[in-house]
């Protein structure tokens, strides 16, 4: 039996806004610019390497306009109950 606690999570809907090709010979990877729905306007875009692995272990890339999900996970030790947070603000 495991005593390890589950991570706290939330999943946000998002969309691939554009795929950014690297400058030739720069060594930089291709990136996907993703817009996270529900995030503050100035912080809603993230850029990540456009490299994923499918369920067969094959490398795949995101396409512009693709619907995706952004999952945020945190260890229990770095979280607190929501009612505790409201009391301190």
Per-residue pLDDT tens for 4-59? Answer: 679 999 999 999 999 999 999 999 999 999 999 999 999 999 999 999 999 999 99
Domain ranges of the chain: 11-71
Q: Report yes or no on whether pTM surpasses 0.75.
A: yes
User: 53 by DSSP, 3-state: which?
Assistant: strand
pLDDT band at 83 (very low <50, low <70, confident <90, very high): confident
Q: What is the pLDDT of residue 37?
A: 96
The CA distance from 11 to 70, in Å, is 6
pLDDT confidence bin for 85, thresholds 50/70/90: low
């Amino acid at each position: 039996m495991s005593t390890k606690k589950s991570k706290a999570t939330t999943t946000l809907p998002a969309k691939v806004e554009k795929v950014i090709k690297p400058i030739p010979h720069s060594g930089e990877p291709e990136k996907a610019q993703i817009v996270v729905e529900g995030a503050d306007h100035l912080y809603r875009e993230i850029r990540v390497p456009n490299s994923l692995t499918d369920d067969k272990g094959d490398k795949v890339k995101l396409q512009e306009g693709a619907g995706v999900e952004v999952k945020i996970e945190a260890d229990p030790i770095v979280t607190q109950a929501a009612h505790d947070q409201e009391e301190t603000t």
